[in-house]
Amino acid sequence: MRILLPPSEGKTAPADGPVLDFEGLSYPELTAARRRVLEALIAVSKRDDAGEILGVGKRIMPEVVAQRDILAAPCAPARGVYTGVLYEAAQLRSGDDVRIFSGLFGVTTGEDLIPTYRLSMNVSLPGIGSLKTFWRRQLAQSGFDETAGAAETNMAQTTVDMRSGAYQVTTPSGDWWDLRVVDSRGKVITHAAKHYRGLLTRTLLDAEHAQGAVPGNATPLDVARVAGASGRVEVTQDGLRRHITLMLE
pLDDT at 155: 42
Q: Regarding predicted confidence, which is higher, 82 or 147?
A: 82
pLDDT bracket for residue 154 (50, 70, 90): very low
Q: DSSP alpha helices (H): ranges in 74-155?
A: 78-81, 85-90, 131-141
Provide mean pLDDT across the span 80-87.
Answer: 96
Asked whether the predicted pLDDT for residue 60 surpasses 60, the reply is yes
Give CA–CA dist 82/99, Å, rounded: 13
- Per the CB < 8 A criterion, the answer to whether 60 and 118 are in contact is yes
Asked whether the predicted pLDDT for residue 220 surpasses 60, the reply is no
Asked whether the predicted pLDDT for residue 23 surpasses 90, the reply is yes
* CB neighbourhood size of 99 (10 A): 24
- Per the CB < 8 A criterion, the answer to whether 9 and 18 are in contact is no
Please provide the average confidence, as pLDDT, over all residues in the chain: 86
- Per the CB < 8 A criterion, the answer to whether 155 and 205 are in contact is no
Question: 243 burial class (0-12, 13-18, 19+ CB within 10 angstroms)?
Answer: middle
**Beta-bridge partners for 181:** 246
- The 10s digit of each residue's pLDDT in 39-53 is 999 999 999 999 999
Give CA–CA dist 184/118, Å, rounded: 34
pLDDT bracket for residue 217 (50, 70, 90): very low
- Tell me, what amino acid is at 119? L
Q: Which of 14-28, 120-134, 184-198 has the lowest mean pLDDT?
A: 184-198
Of the CA atoms within 13 Å of residue 9, those in its CB half-sphere come to: 12
Q: How many angstroms separate the most distant Cα atoms in the chain?
A: 55
Question: 234 burial class (0-12, 13-18, 19+ CB within 10 angstroms)?
Answer: middle
Q: Which of 13-22, 63-72, 147-156 has the lowest mean pLDDT?
A: 147-156
pTM comes to 0.88
Give CA–CA dist 125/86, Å, rounded: 26
- Per the CB < 8 A criterion, the answer to whether 9 and 84 are in contact is yes
- The 10s digit of each residue's pLDDT in 117-153 is 999 999 999 999 999 999 999 999 988 877 665 544 4
pLDDT at 143: 83
pLDDT at 91: 96
* CB neighbourhood size of 114 (10 A): 26
- Per the CB < 8 A criterion, the answer to whether 8 and 86 are in contact is yes
- The 10s digit of each residue's pLDDT in 97-125 is 999 999 999 999 999 999 999 999 999 99
Q: Regarding predicted confidence, which is higher, 114 or 217?
A: 114
